[in-house]
Structure 1
Amino acid sequence: MGELLREKHTAFLQGLDKQDKNSFEACSTEHIRMQGIFWGLGAADILKVKDEVMPKAEKIAGWVMQCYNKEIGGFGGNVGHDANIVNTQHAVYVLAQCGKLERIENEKDKIAAYVKQRQLPDGSFSGDEWGEVDTRFSYCALACLSILKKLDQIDLDKAAEFILECKNFDGGFGAVPGAESHAGYIWTAVASLAIINKMHLLGRAEWDKLAWWLAERQCDSGGLNGRPEKQADVCYSWWALSTLHLLERSKWIDSERLVNFIYKCQDPE
């Protein structure tokens, strides 16, 4: 069994804030900076080094508000970028992580209205004004409104109906109705139902079927893949295991082998 390289991870997170803004890496990830801060804060919090690693909460909150489009009520992935529902959810979460939700106290209704506008007649949500639909956007919408305590602004029954339409014969969920089951989309579907207290619509008998599909994602390496016949990827340790936790079936996989796989995915450099 390996060990968690805490100091290396801490140094990596510290380096992200000091990154050369003109570097290729910085430019190529500019549009997802909001999401990077969300995951970075989460990692730093788990490592119990958030105060050491990240800039002061006020500085982060100030940057987040620079990404806010006051006219429409949405957030972009960086300053000057178009708003979309994914980055709006991440922005609200980052403010919550920093204890700075008061920065949007007077904007909550406008943000909720922006999210509401993204809901389509079939209950699904589009990611932005261009209309792409999948359950990621359903999750982002519901998670955002939950933090804002504005879930009553949308049609929750239709939202759940769309998610259930994405369920497949194998027990899993796809991005849209008829799409292949995928661990990432299973998380967005199940987590969405959990947020709005509608997991009972799955039926308890289906929990085992879905949990079995997820347990089957464990490969010989101990890691989890996202769908059949794929290699293990450390990201599915989160998507699949989080869903199993919601289903109260997290012991259905070999956690020791999974932890060892995650350790092996660390870069000692």
Structure 2
Amino acid sequence: MFYFQGTQVKDVTIKADAPNSLLLDKHADYIAAYGSKKDDYEYTLSEYLRMSGIYWGLTVMDLMGQLSRMNRDEIIEFIKSCQHDCGGIGASIGHDPHLLYTLSAVQILSLYDSVNSIDVDKVVEYVKGLQQEDGSFAGDKWGTFSYFYVGKLDVIKMEKAVEFVLSCMNFDGGFGCRPGSESHAGQIYCCTGFLSVTGQLHQVNADLLGWWLCERQLPSGGLNGRPEKVLGSLHLKAMV
């Protein structure tokens, strides 16, 4: 453990014999094999986020130049089987439609240049119907989550959406998941991305936010998502 100004820092100690280069072949082999054993306990437990998991895996494979190793036709058919009559797409076959998994599905199809494999017009209507009065978006018909979606800019109330995102900005320059919530790297990633797409990034206090992000780095070099939390690779992606 490390201490900074009397506060314990939750960091890790990197072993001297740890790899100092990225083992791309091993990463690619692992991802390519994932899901091949569909009866595995771990595979079954991850069904609730299957669509997003496929997106994450395909993105990594694409970055490593290994996308051709994935079964394109099988993945597209899986996505088509997850679309509901309302236009929304679920995490897996038989799961309720949700905005997050609808987004992941569209991102996958965009990667494969196959967006027209699904009913795009129904997807647009589904997303449009989830926008709330305050400009935010519910994740599903029950409104359990709040998300921001700007993939189809001409059918949503953009000014209200921008207003909502800005209302989530905190005194420290970061963003929370809703007004008054604690700043978090993941939320900052989403909100600044949203403001960039909508041409409103100038409304962010860049210096203040920059300092907040710099303070997330720990002595080991890793990054945490918020103060006094452990480091993680997901936070590294969000902040870089």
| TM-score over 0.5 (shorter chain) | yes
2:206 aligned residue:
207
Which letter does structure 1 place at the counterpart of 2:128? K
Whether the 8 Å contact between 2:35 and 2:43 is mirrored in structure 1 is no
2:55 to 38, 41, 57: 38
Q: Gapped runs of 5+ residues in structure 1? A: 242-269
How many residue pairs match? The answer is 222
Task: Report the secondary structure of 1:75's partner residue.
Answer: coil
Structure 2 unpaired stretches of 5+: 1-18
Match of 2:83 among 57, 65, 68: 68
1:170 aligns to 2:172 (yes or no): yes
**Preserved contact between residue 67 and residue 75 of structure 1 (Cα < 8 Å):** yes
Identity of aligned residues (%): 40
- Quote the residue 2:128 is aligned against: 116
In the TM superposition, residue 102 of structure 1 has moved relative to its aligned partner by 2.3
Runs of 4+ aligned structure 1 residues displaced above 3 Å come to none
Q: Distance in 1 between matches of 2:237 and 2:108?
A: 19
Greater share of helix residues, 1 or 2? Answer: 1
Residues 197 and 115 (structure 1 numbering): CA distance in 2 closer, same or farther, change over 3 Å?
same
1:170-199 Cα shifts (integer Å, max 9, x gaps): 111001000001101111111111122221
CA displacement at 1:49 relative to structure 2: 1.0
Counterpart selection for 1:77 from 79, 91, 101? 91
8 Å CA contact 2:168, 2:177 repeated in 1: yes
Displacement of 1:58 in angstroms is: 2.2
Partner of 1:244: none
AA paired with 1:193? L
Q: Which residue of 2 aligns with 1:2?
A: 20
Matched with 2:183 is 181
DSSP 3-state at the match of 2:138: coil
Task: Write the mapping of 1:222-241 to structure 2, written as runs, cut at 5 A.
Answer: 222-241=221-240
Conservation of the 8 A alpha-carbon contact between 1:124 and 1:133: no
1:72 shift after superposition: 0.6
Separation in 1, partners of 2:145, 2:161: 12
CA apart distance, 1:98: 1.3
Asked if 1:11 is matched to 2:29, the reply is yes
| Whole-angstrom CA distance in 1 between matches of 2:168 and 2:96 | 28
